[in-house]
Structure 1
Amino acid sequence: MQLLIMRHGEAGWHTLDQERELTEAGRLHVAESAAQMAESPWRPKLIWTSPYVRARETSAIVSEILNCAVEEKQFLTPDDDPGLCLDALLENRTSPLLLISHMPLVGSLATLLVDGHRHGIPFMTSQAVLLDMPVVGPGCADLKAQFLP
């Protein structure tokens, strides 16, 4: 399975966390990262996104550029357990799949899949990584590429 993990674009701070919207710079950076994905051989077929506004806005921009469907997932919010996502990935049959979420979840999930622990690597806003997993599980993924604005 090929999995892309992306942090949402830069968002403003003027409202409640779940309702924060992307800034203009955030929209631009998301489009830049998505354009890189569009030129790669790992173009996702489906996007799973957090229900938070900034993640949904990121997903809308990416899905327009990549022409793929979006599904909202309740287990992709900032402080969710990466194990819940891992369980969903075990049942998933779509590859490449793109997850759009938040820190610390994106860092914890990527680290769990690559290194088998949950300490969490940092992600910049609009950054995405590509993981290649012959088997979905902790420590089973190889980092193949990253996409930065």
Structure 2
Amino acid sequence: MKLWVLRHGQAEARAVTDAQRPLTETGRREALRMGEHLQGETLEVILASPYLRAQQTAELVRQCIGLRRAVVTVDWATPDDDPLAVLDRLAERSESNILLVSHQPLVGTLLSLAVEGHRRGHYPMPTAGLACLEMPLPALGVATMLELTNPTSLAGQ
């Protein structure tokens, strides 16, 4: 399985609730930049947190890469969800090339668990940070990190 993990783009600092924070214009540009980076990948599905900023990021990427399938909203990918449960949920998926759009601290901890088998690893995931993991199945310590990037590091390319 190839798992792409994308943190949402920059969001407004305030909204009625945290879940309703929309992307800023910078966040929209970040999402589009990462979508451009993913062009040519054979993504089968985009899974996204129900939070507005993740939904907006996922939709911008979906449009950019031309994926016909709608974004699939998953209620288990919010900032405070358990990354072990996320691995379990991913193991239930039949697709072999998945993009998960979520939040910190979930994404950083998920990467640490999948690659190192524990929660102590540090993976910088600024807004619109993107990681690509290759793994035989979603489990602790079995993934290989193929890529770890963000819009700023791609700006010079």
TM-score in terms of structure 1 length: 0.93
For residues 43 and 146 of structure 1, the distance between their equivalents in structure 2, rounded to whole angstroms, comes to 18
Preserved contact between residue 10 and residue 22 of structure 1 (Cα < 8 Å): yes
Instruction: Quote the Cα distance in structure 2 between the aligned partners of 1:61 and 1:147.
Output: 18
Aligned residue type for 2:87: L
Distance in 2, Cα, partners of 1:89 & 1:127: 20
Structure 1 segment 69-108 matched on structure 2, within 5 A:
69=69, 70-108=71-109
Aligned match for 1:121, one of 117, 120, 123: 123
Matched-pair contact (CA < 8 Å) for 2:47–2:73? yes
Task: Supply the distance in 2 between the matched residues of 1:48 and 1:118 (Cα, whole angstroms).
Answer: 22
Query: Is contact 2:31–2:61 with CA below 8 Å preserved after alignment?
Result: yes
Root mean square deviation, CA, Å: 1.2
Partner of 2:3: 3
* Letter aligned with residue 86 of structure 2: C
Q: What TM-score do you get using the length of structure 2 for normalisation?
A: 0.89
Contact 1:43/1:66, CA 8 A, preserved across alignment: no
Q: Tell me what 1:14 maps to.
A: 14
- Percentage of matched positions with identical amino acids: 37
Unaligned runs of 5+ in 2: 152-157
Aligned length: 147
How far the C-alpha of 1:103 sits from its partner, in A, is 0.1
Give structure 1 regions of 4+ aligned residues with deviation exceeding 4 angstroms. Answer: none
Distance apart, 1:145 and its partner CA = 1.5
Instruction: Measure how far apart 1:135 and its partner are.
Output: 3.0
